[in-house]
Chains A and B, each alone.
Chain A
Amino acid sequence: GESVGLHLPTLSVQEGDNSIINCAYSNSASDYFIWYKQESGKGPQFIIDIRSNMDKRQGQRVTVLLNKTVKHLSLQIAATQPGDSAVYFCAETLLSGYSTLTFGKGTMLLVSP
């Protein structure tokens, strides 16, 4: 899991490096997953999503990998930039019927110039 009480897990990288942020989700029945980015003082912002019938999905500079066997998601950010510094959350839900999102506790990404 991600929670460390008051202190978020933190990943520190240099500008230009590739970043990998991990997330363990809780419900084996979840079939839809979303990554959010939250910059300081702002609300969470959608980055990328993936359905459970996929293992990988790519966006612009970001890739999400899904391993249903171990209930694990990862977000890969290529050529990380200082503007990528933020807290990243994964969220899980069910596509069928009505289901709310369950959020992970987040990982802070710090990018040094």
Chain B
Amino acid sequence: NAGVTQTPKFQVLKTGQSMTLQCAQDMNHNSMYWYRQDPGMGLRLIYYSASEGTTDKGEVPNGYNVSRLNKREFSLRLESAAPSQTSVYFCASSTPGTAKNIQYFGAGTRLSVL
């Protein structure tokens, strides 16, 4: 069982470069999420997709865009990376509305913007 798979695991960018973080889940979950995690902080929601075909802003959406490509895949794009976007990014998936709203997380992408 792969669960939630994120690629790449590590990335170094220069300021102004763009990149897309990929996320795929094989649990047939309806909802997917992107978080960032900074030292000493909890997880902050960037964007989420409640179901295929919908996306919504979370707590910290500025500087990011997302695409829900299909039910399995949810990508996060940085159009013009900034040093403030240096962070660890986590993708998660869940099926809310059932008995459990448990989110299952990938292993993360560690991004440094120089």
B-contacting residues of A (Cβ < 8 Å)?
3-8, 32, 34, 41-46, 49, 89, 93, 95, 98-101, 103-106
Contact = CB atoms under 8 A, between A and B. Distances in A.
Chain A interface, DSSP helix/strand/loop, else mixed: loop
Given A43-B90, A100-B45, A4 B96 contact: no
Given A45-B105, A49-B102, A98 B96 contact: yes
Interface of B: 4, 33, 39-43, 45, 48, 50, 58, 90, 92, 96-97, 100-108
Chain B interface, DSSP helix/strand/loop, else mixed: loop
A56 to B, nearest CB: 18
B102 A89 contact: no
B105 A44 contact: yes
Nearest to B54: A98
A99 B101 CA distance: 9
B42 A32 contact: no
A103 B40 contact: no
